[in-house]
Structure 1
Amino acid sequence: MRASRLVSILLLLQNRERMTAQELADTLEVSVRTVYRDMESLSTAGVPLYGEPGHEGGYRLLGGFRTRLTGLTTDEADSLFLTGLPTAAADLGMGAVVTAVQLKLMASLPAELRDRASRIAERFHLDAPAWYRESDRAPHLSAVAEAVWNNRAVRVRYLRWAEPREITRVVEPYGLVLKAGHWYLVADGTEGLRTYRISRIADLRVLDERFERTEGFDLADHWQNYLRFFDARRHQGEATLRLSPSAFHRLPHLWDSAMADAARRTATSPDADGWIRVTIPIESVEQALPELLKLGADAEILAPAGLREQMTQALDALARLYRRPV
């Protein structure tokens, strides 16, 4: 794309000081004539370019000109990674800062690139939360983010699903993750690295105590490993099903990826009725039942017997309910 190529030309000239039209054309994989047109566009946009003829000639930027972001404050520079995530920035208390940095970024661009950036913003929008679900209310998110940034330990009172329901821990906050509209804290403590859902923090106090992050810790890698472990841990059982062709093809839209992938991986050849036998991981009978009810009469539970019995009872209850006159 031309806009990207113009930026590449500026960065090449900044890094190499001088390049011929042929060198630029070879690097960017375009014709020399295209380079000439690009240089004319950059010059028209106010970039101080100078072309020197001859064997030792080439293009250079005058007066040590460099493309730079002028006037950015420390907070604005810190917020650069959030400029495409306005909702996340607002959650972290940085909405106004991100707005300011976007304006300064736009002002620093040549006219052609500024127009392109505006058109992209008008045409693309990222909405992180999943369908039909509201984002978590996370009143302690800003305080947690500050502690993460400043390597400050925190004391949290946390509400868990398991017993004991309420725990108090002092942890070292390593990073924040936004997943499907929910914020999570990755923190180290006496229990090792743990993940805490921010909305379930009942109380939080940032301590004066500072800590040193483990050298080489990579938040993205840790999160991917955590997701794999989480899926393996929560899926402790299996269920065998017969699925109609329609149900089988609808699985990616109805189930999470772990269940849908397992169904595709274990699918047998269609039987005489065209139905397919699959084996899927489940957390428990109680968790699996509502997931299987989504498929209605397009699925039959073969095993385990307890899950089949629970389905039978649920269907009997529904039948009794709908036989009653309204």
Structure 2
Amino acid sequence: MELDNQESAGKFERFLFLMIPIIFTLVLLGVLLTLFNMDIRNNVLTVANKIPIVEKWVPDPPADPALDDKQQAEEQAASSETTIKELKAKLADQNEILRKVTEEKAAQETQVKALQSQIKSIEESASAAKEDTVSEEDAYQNQVTNLAKLYAGMKASKAAPIMENLTTEEMVQIFSVMNNASKTAILEKMTPETAAEVSVKLKEITTSTDLSIAALQSRLKKQSGTTASTSGSSTNLDKEKLNQTFTTMPAAEAAKLLSEMYKISPDKVVTILSSVGDSVRSSILGEMTKNDSTQTAMVVNRLMGAK
């Protein structure tokens, strides 16, 4: 028993003799690693996780805070770059929309200026045409007044038979601008029938324009009642009279009269327009177009020789 106890004590002593240096060494290494801040555990876990089978038994090493901060910074930088790209794309779209709006606005302003220029041109043309019409009316009325003065200056016994060769409407037109003394003297020398008819017409006077139209209509009606077979000289004389009549007559009134005549005798309208000058014909056709463009087109077609 004593021998057994001695052997056991000798083995334990040898064990302690061997383990004490080892334990001291391990403790010293632990102290040194702690002092130098070396993360042995994480390194051991990292190495262990690389071993195929052992990696299943050991936990993953904790993440390095420095690496996390770096990764977060990289992710934030990437997110910021993506946001900047999106903002740049939106800015480019807005600039494109602004450019299109600016171009459309410029086009609209150009169109408005063109329309304003057209309106101004139309207004100027209308004003010029109105002035021309007024001047033509004044010229025609002046001629009627001068003719009335001419008859008034003659002896009543000579003026009466001359005026009786005119139509009733023409006599009324002349009497309308004549003073009462001359008018009375000439009517006394006329036949009772003519004087009575003229007196009734004088009572129905409306405006100078209506008188002019009525006088011209009566003259044309009287001329249309003559025989169709006339000599070449007389035909030229009729055209000359027509030319003078429509040249001195305001274009608006002539157009109104010819429009009504066209419904009765289109050929006579063509004859009248053929006898006047180009400028007078242009003015009359312009006024006729305002009233009835379709009828005017038919008249121009006949003037060009078509049926």
Structure number with the higher helix fraction is 2
Q: Which has the higher strand share?
A: 1
TM-score of the two chains, using structure 1 as the length reference: 0.19
